[in-house]
Chain A
Amino acid sequence: MLIRIIYVTLILIFLSPVAASAHNDKKEIVKVTTTDTMSPKEGNNYIIDSLERAEKQKGFAEIAKDVKESTVPTVIKALSLAAIIAGLAFLYIPKKKQS
């Protein structure tokens, strides 16, 4: 079974260039520029956008305050407590003796 899976995988790997060429539409070849790799949110002038973002960015203390006011810390603390209790159960619940 394992050998068959390996054979099929190898055949698919060798066939993959054929599959790729079947989708090769006649597209115009254009050189990739920096703006092509940017997300639409960032616009064309990356540096100016970054500076604007930095100015709008909250400080760490403000972020910490916002996070504290959200529900996430409570969820994480509850999950952490659950992990601790599960660990203690793992360690201290006595194992049933095999006869």
Chain B
Amino acid sequence: MDDIKKQDGMSWSLKDFNYSVPEHAKRFGYTVGGVTLIGFVLLIISGIIMAFFLTPTTGQARQSVLEFASNPWGFWLRSFHRWLAEAVVFLIVLHMSRIIITGSYRGKRKLNWFFGIGLFVITLTFLFSGTVVKWDQEGYEAYGHTIESLGMIPLIGASLAKFIEGSAVVMRMFVTHAIVLPSLLLLFLIPHMVLMKLNGLSPLPGKKTTRTIPFSEHVKKIFGWSLVIFGLISFLAMQFPAVLYPGPFVGAEITKPPWMFLVLYQFEDWFGVISLLILPLVIVLGLILLPYIDSGEDDYSLVRKIVVWGYLIIVAVFIIFIIHVAISPPVHHLMM
């Protein structure tokens, strides 16, 4: 196998892919990005299978999902896809947390940090559009919130809302979910991985790494964690299946969004639908500004400490909001 170059006269061999990486590449925190990538691959495979069975119209979508779920394997696959989507968001948050805590967005890694933010936004849009596509009560309410908040964007908002709303909404969301977003994902993922290779693995804060391991050891850890995490997701998907709500019923607001959107739900309670536009904008802007606020090389600088503690406090507050909304009864937010 290693002698491929000799056969075809090419200048590479499989050994070239087994280059040395720092020893800390074995640590869980440094494998989460790779595990997330495998999560995306599984999402794409399960999504393609389900796409064959979906009728993306307002009249037929929910029924076609029900028909697909009538088969026990289809029932599991649908539930696995939903659980996996939520797990991937969780893994991205873990990955971003590791990068913020170790300050790995500084210096030459700034551009890759921006691609990462793009991938985070794309993933959340994936989850949102996937919720709408099944066109049950949950999907309908997610759609209602989008239309109302999009309408508030100055100049282009009304036209955007008009394009999405109407009887073609499920088809448009399906095209977004199955064509537009996967294309954007590739567009951001490829440079993200290329830059990762060019920059090398970020160092551990305050330590000069000298010991190395082969890249194959890093890949083994990624596969090991993937088997554990996605095996668990598969088990949970069967034990606690993803619900398909009835409906949709116009005027009813009885569902709550997936856990990662519950922070927005809390702000919507306080400030109305406009917070669905403003809060994501503030979060994304904050993440973009991070490498400019904390740009020094010192791992123990005051700015570094403020950034890490500030981030941990924000995460703690968000977790409190998520728990609070999860245990509170649903609230009516929309005009519809």
> Of residues 69 to 94 in A, which have CB atoms within 8 Å of B's CB atoms?
70, 72-73, 76-77, 79-84, 86-91
Docked CA distance A15–B69 (Å)? 45
Nearest chain A CB to B45 CB, angstrom units:
15
Given A87-B227, A87-B229, 9 additional A-B pairs, CB 8 A: A1-B7, A60-B244, A72-B76, A76-B235, A76-B238, A77-B239, A80-B235, A81-B231, A87-B225
Complex interface: chain A residues within 8 A of B228 (CB) = 83-84, 87-88, 91
Docked-complex contact A76 and B241, CB < 8 angstroms? no
Q: Which of B7, B63, B231, B246 has the most CB of A within 10 A?
A: B231
Binding site for B on A (CB under 8 A): 1-2, 50, 53-54, 57-60, 63-64, 66-67, 70, 72-73, 76-77, 79-84, 86-91
Docked CA distance A77–B245 (Å)? 25
Complex interface: chain A residues within 8 A of B59 (CB) = 50
Docked CA distance A89–B70 (Å)? 35
Interface of A is mostly: helix
Complex interface: chain A residues within 8 A of B225 (CB) = 87, 91
Binding site for A on B (CB under 8 A): 7-8, 59-60, 63, 66-67, 69-70, 72-73, 75-76, 220-221, 223-232, 234-235, 238-239, 241, 243-246
Q: Could you give 13 example pairs across A and B, Cβ below 8 Å?
A: A1-B8, A66-B70, A67-B241, A72-B73, A76-B234, A76-B238, A80-B231, A81-B235, A83-B228, A86-B227, A87-B223, A87-B226, A87-B227
Docked-complex contact A91 and B8, CB < 8 angstroms? no
- Once A77-B239, A84-B232 are accepted as A-B contacts, the answer to whether A67 and B227 lie under 8 Å apart by CB is no
Complex interface: chain A residues within 8 A of B239 (CB) = 77
What residue in chain B is nearest A78 (Cβ atoms)?
B235
Docked-complex contact A72 and B72, CB < 8 angstroms? yes
Docked CA distance A73–B69 (Å)? 13
Docked CA distance A89–B225 (Å)? 10
Docked CA distance A66–B241 (Å)? 13
